Chains A and B, each alone.
Chain A
Amino acid sequence: MTERENILGRIREALRVPAERHGHGVVQNSPSAPHESHASDWLPVVGESFEQRVELFRANAAELKADFHLVDSREAAAAHLRELATAKGWKKVATHTGELTRSICADLGVDILITDDGYDVNEMETCDAGITECDALVAQTGSVLVTSRSAGGRALSVLPPHHIVLARRDQLIADLPAAFALLKQTYGAGMPSMISFITGPSRTGDIERILVLGAHGPKHLAVLIVG
């Protein structure tokens, strides 16, 4: 017998005795019933309009110590990035090919590493920033939803010390249940190998519960909604 069968066998044996649930009495082992989720009704409240969601995302970002900008054109986004590159003295950035990244990073005035078909990790380590697109921004939590397919792989959004996210207006969604619904709708059975909710820059409180940014991932996170 394989260990798989041993373990499943022990589980079935154990589950033959129905469990008593505190406050519910003995619950019979009925077949698993799909339940209806009400998570949206319990989780923090989110407004209906785009403006309300922008405000909520902005407030969450501020609390998380992430930068957030709503810019009205791709040119404005590109100008913002150029300013950042000069101010921080970037020499090289890493990015991937996407509709927004292509037009916005076109003339950044610094060296660019494109990750699309693989890359040298030592080279990425020397990059000053990673610029990616995303699948969605979640107003409820101030999170950026990225996947290995939408954001240039697994490391691009976490290895360089500065992460810049470019998003379209229609990518700002309300809450976490909407984010999971979107993932299923976008990818169906063919999910990317990595899906990540990034909520603020990398952080730790492991030393005396004092908040420190940039523990292992990016110290800075900037989110641009390009309208």
Chain B
Amino acid sequence: MNSAAQFRDDAKRLTHDLRHRELIQSALKKYEVARDAKKARYQDWESARVEASDIKWDAVNHLDAHLAEFARNAEAHGTKVHWASTGGQAREIILGIVREKNARSIIKSKVMTGEEIHLNEALEKADMSVVESDLGEYIVQLRHEAPYHFVFPAMHLTRGEISDLFERELGSAPTNDAGELTMIARRALRKKYITADIGISGANFAIAETGMVSITENEGNARLTCALPKVHIALMGIEKLLPKLEDLALFLPMLATAGAGQVLTGYNTMYGGPRQPGEADGPEEFHVVLLDNHRTRLLADAEQRDALQCIRCGACLNVCPIYKNVGGHTYGTTYQGPIGAVITPHLRGLQDWKHLSFASSLCGACTSACPVKIDLHHHLLQSRRNARGQKPLWWEKIAFKLFAVLANSPALWALAKPMARFGQIFHPLVKATRLDPAYVWTQSRELPKVAPQTFKEYWKGRNP
């Protein structure tokens, strides 16, 4: 099945799944309340958005200079910097390090770029044991499925389902308590941190002026992943650059507030190299893998370039009426929701992913939620235009021609109004059946009623 058909089928199924809707909406309601409370503490959230957007805009539009500066500074502190044009190259680089170190076991903190390049599959094929340490990622890994949301990976599961899963996979006693479930995972993962040969993480930001990567997390799993194994590898997209260390003073709290309704995320940690002389612990080697994987294709689209400003906070998913109804897996992408619909056609090809731009009501909730002011819903509109090419479909051409004739002739227009009012009396007879001319719309929605009076008629009646 192609990705468009899969999207259509899954969306149809899930929009009718009331249990799913209830679960997602109650989770996102909690997020909304927390986010609004934390946003209200800012002296000026809107100005913060403008400044954050300006900084990222500048960073993206001078990406070459910032990347070169980052690499220079990172290398000066003993970090090994690798460059990968494709997912395949990134996998090879990481496998190369793994082989050189004779590594057997790997602990991972959340790496969305790893999902993007199917890193786990590649490592497992090479006989590595790979364990995800972020609780949500660990749960979906045990279920052999993709994350449901790039910030909240296991948002689609209930306590009961997770308890069943742990019982089956870990042999734990069933429980309905979220705290108990978390402790089961904590105990299962403790040993892994200590025995793992290599820790793999992502990065939320990279700082050009200091050559550091910054990692944001709540659980402490990334802190442990980057502290205990002898080798630490950070895999990140080339767009993560910020020019200055102090830029984080704005981006860390904004990421926390927009993404999870927090003042600041539990741990925000900057890594500037391997263990230094005089330090108590830390890895002997620190590798940073910079991944392009078609980000430069998005960069070359001047119209949608600002989509590279994304800090992956997930706010646009959390407010999207389509996401809330069709759910994360339906997208079939690493990055779901509005931002996923904008960037996936660039990262993975317009032909197969153009349908995503139609998974939007164009309400613009995403654009107003975005902390770095990416013009998401206009980009979706542009993608629709790009997807359609220059030529409209034949029946659309005819329909619009007819509409133009109608709208250009006051006499015809006057005639059409009562006809529409009369016609709609009989509409219920065929509504949502194949005979219904508005079938595509009415099978899942109500058709708005033609008003009994036009505004002009109403106005004339009021001011005779």
In whole angstroms, how far apart are the Cα atoms of A184 and B244 in the complex?
11
- A194 near B: Cβ within 8 Å? yes
> How close is A195's CB to chain B, nearest CB, in angstroms?
4
Bound together, the chains give a CA A33 to CA B57 distance in angstroms of 12
Residues of B within 8 A of A209 (CB): 27, 30-31, 152, 155
Take A180-B245, A204-B218 as given contacts and tell me if A196 and B224 are in contact as well, using a CB distance cutoff of 8 Å: no
Chain A nearest CB from B277 CB (Å) reads: 10
Q: Tell me which residues across on chain B come within 8 A of A32, comparing CB atoms.
A: 58, 61-62, 65-66, 243
Q: Is B275 an interface residue (CB 8 A)?
A: yes
Q: Which of A81-89, A104-112, A115-123, A164-172 contacts B (4 or more CB under 8 A)?
A: A115-123
Select the residue from B44, B133, B153, B299 with max chain A CB neighbours within 10 A: B299
B51 touches A42 (CB 8 A): yes
Is B281's CB under 8 angstroms from A153's CB? yes
How far is A204 from B190 in the complex, measured between Cα atoms in Å? 16
**Which one of B8-16, B117-125, B257-265 is at the interface?**
B257-265
Assuming the A-B contacts A119-B281, A194-B282, are A35 and B27 also in contact, with contact meaning beta carbons closer than 8 angstroms in the complex?
no
Quick one: given A7-B83, A180-B248, A206-B135, are A20 and B303 in contact (CB under 8 Å)?
yes
Cβ of B68 and Cβ of A205 under 8 Å apart?
no
Partner of A39, one of B83, B178, B250: B250
Q: Considering only CB atoms, which chain A residue lies closest to B286 in the complex?
A: A193
Chain B residue at minimum C-beta to C-beta distance from A22:
B375
Residues of A within 8 A of B224 (CB): 155, 158-159, 216-217
Establish whether residues B302 and A197, one from each chain, have CB atoms under 8 Å apart when the complex forms: no
Cα separation A34 to B59 with both chains bound (whole Å): 11
Quick check: is A62 within 8 A (CB to CB) of the other chain?
no
Q: List residues of chain B with CB within 8 A of the CB of A8.
A: 64, 67-68
Interchain CB contact under 8 A, B47 and A38: yes
Which of these, B71, B189, B190, B267, contacts A4 with CB under 8 Å?
B71
Binary flags per residue of B255-283, CB closer than 8 Å to A gives 1, else 0: 00000101111111111111110111110
Contacts known (A11-B63, A184-B245, A196-B268); A153 close to B220, Cβ less than 8 A: no
B190 touches A125 (CB 8 A): yes
Min Cβ gap A15→B in Å is 6
Quick one: given A11-B63, A208-B27, are A192 and B250 in contact (CB under 8 Å)? no
Contact A194 B269 (CB under 8 A): yes
With known contacts A15-B299, A20-B303, A217-B224, A206–B139 Cβ distance under 8 A: yes
How far apart are A170's CB and chain B's nearest CB, in angstroms?
20
Q: Is B290 an interface residue (CB 8 A)?
A: yes
B426, chain A: closest CB distance, angstroms:
45
Residue among A35, A96, A142, A205 with most chain B CB within 10 A: A205
* CB contact between B219 and one of A17, A193, A199, A204 (< 8 Å): that residue: A204
CB < 8 Å neighbour of A203 from B45, B139, B219, B278: B219
B 171-184 binary contact with A (CB < 8 Å = 1; else 0): 00000001101110
How many angstroms between the C-alpha atoms of A167 and B282 in the bound complex? 24
The reply to whether the CB of A76 lies closer than 8 angstroms to some CB of chain B is: no
CB distance from A20 to the nearest CB of B (A): 6
Fill in one digit per residue for A152-165: 1 if any B CB lies within 8 Å of its CB, else 0: 11111111000000
Task: Let me know if A101 is at the binding interface, CB within 8 A.
Answer: no
Q: How large is the interface on B (under 10, 10 to 19, 20 to 34, 35 or more residues)?
A: 35 or more
Q: How far is the CB of B154 from chain A (nearest CB, A)?
A: 6
| A179: B residues at CB distance < 8 A | 249
Assess the B247–A37 pair: CB atoms within 8 A.
yes
Instruction: Assess A207 versus B85: contact at CB under 8 Å? Given A39-B250, A154-B226.
Output: no
A44 to B40, CA, bound (A): 9
Interface size class of A (residues with CB under 8 A): 35 or more
With A35-B58, A42-B48, A208-B159: A214-B85 Cβ-Cβ less than 8 Å: no
Contact B54 A207 (CB under 8 A): no
> Quick check: B223 and A217 within 8 Å, CB to CB?
yes
State in angstroms the CA–CA spacing of A29 and B302 once bound together: 12
Q: Which residue of B lies closest to A33 (CB)?
A: B58
Given contacts A7-B290, A19-B306, A183-B245, contact A193 B279 (CB under 8 A): yes
Q: Is B252 in the interface zone, CB < 8 Å from A?
A: yes
**B305 CB-CB contact with A under 8 Å:** yes
Instruction: Select from chain A the residue with minimum beta-carbon distance to B45.
Output: A42
Q: How far is the CA of A42 from the CA of B47 in the complex (A)?
A: 7
- Do A216 and B292 contact each other (CB < 8 Å), given the known contacts A38-B47, A96-B280, A155-B281? no
How far is the CB of B299 from the nearest CB of chain A, in Å? 4
B271 touches A19 (CB 8 A): no
Q: At the interface, yes or no: B203 with Cβ under 8 Å from chain A?
A: no
B208-235, CB under 8 A of A: which get 1 and which 0? Answer: 0010100000111101101110000000
A15 to B269, CA, bound (A): 31
**Could you say which of A96, A191, A195, A206 has the most chain B C-beta atoms within 10 Å of its C-beta?**
A206
On whether the beta carbons of A215 and B135 are closer than 8 Å, the reply is yes
Q: Tell me the bound Cα distance from A197 to B218 in angstroms.
A: 11
The answer for the CA separation of A49 and B91 in the assembled complex, in Å, is 53
Closest A residue, CB atoms, query B223: A158
CB atoms of B306 and A42 under 8 A apart: no
> Which residues 196-227 in A have Cβ within 8 Å of B in the complex?
196-210, 212, 214-218
Chain B residues with CB below 8 A from A156, complex form: 280
B35-53 interface code vs A (CB 8 A; 1 in, 0 out): 0000001111101100100
Q: How far is the CB of A40 from chain B (nearest CB, A)?
A: 8
Whether B220 pairs with A158 at a CB distance below 8 angstroms is yes
Question: Could you name 7 residue pairs across A and B whose Cβ atoms are closer than 8 Å?
Answer: A11-B299, A17-B302, A39-B250, A148-B282, A192-B276, A206-B136, A212-B179
Interface residues of A (CB under 8 A from B): 2-4, 6-8, 10-15, 17-22, 27, 29, 31-35, 37-39, 41-45, 60, 63, 96, 115-119, 121-122, 125, 141-143, 148-149, 152-159, 175-177, 179-181, 183-184, 191-210, 212, 214-218
Known: A18-B302, A35-B54, A149-B279. 20 other contacts (CB 8 A): A3-B89, A7-B296, A39-B250, A42-B45, A118-B280, A148-B276, A149-B278, A154-B223, A158-B224, A176-B248, A176-B253, A180-B246, A191-B210, A194-B226, A202-B266, A204-B182, A208-B23, A209-B152, A209-B155, A217-B266
The 3 A-B pairs with the shortest beta carbon distances in the complex, nearest first, are A217-B220, A153-B280, A154-B227
